């Protein structure tokens, strides 16, 4: 198994980057730890079905960077594995040499033991006593001492060989543990990278689908642009440009609407228009250019049937089905400001009705050319689309 894993790692290293083992591994580990924390936070917050376009793009970028970090770490680790295996081979050779040295030293001790048995110390004493003069006595004494010194050297050599063998075996144990750790780190990195690649594919598929659907929706809305503009122009011509009349005070205003979850910073102070958010939900697509197409409003995803509120008081001047917009309501708030609420499942107002801010005017749906239940909300001044965020708190 380790050999198979090593082969996979080496292939990755050759395919992605010829990175040498270096102190950068610590930086990579830190980077991956930080990425892991970011990934957990992202997983806690990100629901690919409800995430905004910007969230999906950001997640796709983050996953791409994290996968690249894994690849770099795998490349570094593969070189470390090669070095560790080379070290293991060297240590194994040294162990063989140490075992040979122990065997030779042991054999030498055995041979000396046999010699000592054959020539006991009494024989040495007899040799000294048989000396014919002091010179011969001294010579024999020196020879006996040299023999004893050789015995000590043989024993010390055996002890040293055994000590070195023990050290080499300890080094091998450490090297084996290090190699095992490297293989485990490799397997973990491969598993994490595979999970990241799976998540990356999911996010990309979701984003690609979102792009295709939004392009279709924008195309359908663009086809209705001339009609919407003519309806607003007709309204301006009808009222002659003055502010819309206030609603009769026969209905109490509704409670303020909750602010939808958003992914960008909202305006610190309420704008002069005094608009409120028209429904509660998650902003999934912003106003402006989206992948080469102009999106004239913001999309607020919400469950089917969620209440839609009038963003400000005014007079309803259009209620009906409008092509790609589906069931649509438009409200004139005076001073050239018109709000538009599209894709409703059903509408709760009629043309000519005065409404208060926060009053329910309809319910979230997916009529017309829609990418699922959401409210397409537009603000127009003198017929020209403007970013609703410039008018919302």
Has residue 281 been placed in a domain? yes
Has residue 222 been placed in a domain? no
Of 348 and 197, more confident? 348
Mean pLDDT over 171-179 rounds to 79
Reported as a pLDDT band with limits 50, 70 and 90, residue 310 is: very high
CB 261 within 8 A of CB 374: no
Average of per-residue pLDDT values in the chain: 73
**Residue 305 backbone zone (phi > 0: left; psi -120 to 50: alpha; other: beta):** left
The parent domain of residue 111 ranges over 2-214
Q: Which of 35-39, 207-211, 234-238, 265-269 has the highest mean pLDDT?
A: 234-238
Percent share of the chain, pLDDT over 70 = 60
pLDDT tens per residue across span 129-172: 555 566 655 554 455 555 555 656 666 666 666 777 777 777 77
Is residue 29 scored above 60 in pLDDT? no
Q: Is 360 helix (H, G, I), strand (E, B) or coil?
A: strand
- Judge if 32 and 57 occupy the same domain: yes
Distance CA 328, CA 344 (A): 6
- Judge if 301 and 234 occupy the same domain: yes
Distance CA 137, CA 124 (A): 11
**187, 214, 241 - which closes a domain:** 214
Q: Is 386 helix (H, G, I), strand (E, B) or coil?
A: strand
What total number of domains does the chain contain?
2
- Judge if 36 and 90 occupy the same domain: yes
DSSP letters for 39-80: HHHHHHH--TTT--HHHHHHHHHHHHHHHHHHHHHHHHHHHH
Distance CA 216, CA 201 (A): 22
**pLDDT score recorded for residue 273:** 62
Of 82 and 7, more confident? 82
Q: Can you give the three-state secondary structure of 105-155, one letter per residue? A: HHHHHHHHHHHHHHCCHHHHHHHHHCCCCHHHHHHHHHHHHHHHHHHHHHH
Distance CA 99, CA 166 (A): 10
Angle 77-79-84 (CA atoms, 0-180°, nearest 5)? 90
**214, 247, 281 - which closes a domain:** 214
pLDDT tens per residue across span 236-269: 888 765 444 444 444 444 444 444 544 433 333 3
Is residue 204 scored above 70 in pLDDT? yes
């Amino acid at each position: 198994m380790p050999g198979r894993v090593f082969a996979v790692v080496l292939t990755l290293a050759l395919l992605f980057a010829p990175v040498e083992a270096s102190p950068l591994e610590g930086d990579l580990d830190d980077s991956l730890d930080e990425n892991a924390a970011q990934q957990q936070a992202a997983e806690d917050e990100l629901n690919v079905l409800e995430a905004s376009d910007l969230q999906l793009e950001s997640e796709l970028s983050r996953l791409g960077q994290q996968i690249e970090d894994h690849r770099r770490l795998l490349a570094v680790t593969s070189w470390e594995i090669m070095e560790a295996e080379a070290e293991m081979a060297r240590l194994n050779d040294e162990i063989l040499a140490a075992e040979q040295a122990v065997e030779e030293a042991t054999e030498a001790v055995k041979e000396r033991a046999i010699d000592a048995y054959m020539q006991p110390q009494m024989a040495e004493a007899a040799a000294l006593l048989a000396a014919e003069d002091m010179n011969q006595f001294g010579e024999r004494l020196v020879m006996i001492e040299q023999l004893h010194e050789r015995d000590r050297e043989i024993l010390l050599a055996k002890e040293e060989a055994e000590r070195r063998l023990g050290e080499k075996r300890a080094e091998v144990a450490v090297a084996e543990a290090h190699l095992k750790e490297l293989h485990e780190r490799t397997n973990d990195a491969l598993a994490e990278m595979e999970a990241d690649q799976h998540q990356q594919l999911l996010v990309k598929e979701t984003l690609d689908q979102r792009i295709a659907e939004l392009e279709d929706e924008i195309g359908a809305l663009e086809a209705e642009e001339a009609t919407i503009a003519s309806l607003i122009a007709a309204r301006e011509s009808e009222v002659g440009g003055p502010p819309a009349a206030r609603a009769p005070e026969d209905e109490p205003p509704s409670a303020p609407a909750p602010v939808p979850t958003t992914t960008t910073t909202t305006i610190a102070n309420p704008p002069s228009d005094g608009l409120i958010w028209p429904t509660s939900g998650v902003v999934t697509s912003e106003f402006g250019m989206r992948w080469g197409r102009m999106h004239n409003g913001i999309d607020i995803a919400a469950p089917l049937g969620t209440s839609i509120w009038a963003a400000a008081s005014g007079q309803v001047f259009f209620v009906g089905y409008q092509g790609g917009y589906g069931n649509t309501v438009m409200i004139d708030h005076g001073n050239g400001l018109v709000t538009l609420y599209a894709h409703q499942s059903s509408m709760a107002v009629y043309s000519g009705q005065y409404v208060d801010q926060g009053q329910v005017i309809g319910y979230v749906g997916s009529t017309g050319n829609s990418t699922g239940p959401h409210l397409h909300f537009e603000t127009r001044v003198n017929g020209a689309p403007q970013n609703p965020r410039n008018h919302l708190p």
